[in-house]
C-alpha cells in the first residue's frame, strides 16, 4: 500500500487496482505453500486485513484473485480501459 500511496502522491491521476485473495484462509494457505513460517503467515494475514481497508479508500478497482484466468482477464480489461480513457503522460500522442 505504501507504494500505491507514493505513486498517487506523485501522480494523482494514476489508477490503483486492489488485488485481493479470496479470503484470509486462502492467503494463509498460499503463504504457507511458498514456505513462509507460521509466524510470518500470521503477521502477513493481519497486515493484509489493514491493507484492504487502506486500499479500499484509494483503489479505483478491486479484483479478487480466486481464479487466475478470471483475475488476469479483469486486470487486462482495467488496464486496457485506462489506457484508452486517457493519453499516456510519457507519450501524449498515444491513446
Q: What is the mean pLDDT of the segment spanning 3-16?
A: 94
pLDDT at 26: 95
B/e letters for 31-70, b = 16+ CB within 10 Å, e = fewer, are beeeeeeeeebeebbeebeebbeebeeebebebebeeeee
Answer whether 0.85 is exceeded by the pTM: no
Distance (Å, whole) CA 11 – CA 93? 19
**Cα atoms in the 13 Å half-sphere on the side-chain side of 59:** 17
Q: What is the pLDDT of residues 38-92, one digit of tens each?
A: 999 999 999 998 899 999 999 999 999 999 999 999 999 999 999 887 665 554 5
Range scoring the smallest mean pLDDT among 2-11, 31-40, 79-88? 79-88
Q: What is the mean pLDDT of residues 29-44?
A: 94
- Which tops the pLDDT comparison, 94 or 82? 82
What are the Cα distances from residue 3, in Å, to 10, 18, 54, 80, 82?
11, 12, 12, 22, 19
Architecture, CATH, for domain 2-85: 3-Layer(aba) Sandwich (3.40)
| Residue found by looking up cell 493481519 in the block | 46
Q: Which three cell numbers stand for residue 85?
A: 480513457
What does the alpha-carbon distance between residue 2 and residue 49 come to, in Å, rounded to a whole number? Answer: 15
Amino acid at each position: 500500500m505504501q507504494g500505491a500511496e507514493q505513486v498517487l502522491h506523485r501522480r494523482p491521476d494514476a489508477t490503483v487496482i486492489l488485488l485481493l485473495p479470496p479470503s484470509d484462509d486462502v492467503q494463509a494457505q498460499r503463504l504457507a505453500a511458498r514456505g513462509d513460517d507460521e509466524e510470518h503467515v500470521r503477521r502477513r494475514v493481519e497486515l493484509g486485513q489493514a491493507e484492504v481497508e487502506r486500499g479500499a479508500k484509494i483503489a479505483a478497482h478491486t479484483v479478487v484473485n480466486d481464479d487466475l484466468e478470471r483475475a488476469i482477464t479483469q486486470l487486462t480489461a482495467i488496464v486496457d480501459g485506462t489506457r484508452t480513457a486517457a493519453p499516456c503522460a510519457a507519450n501524449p500522442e498515444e491513446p
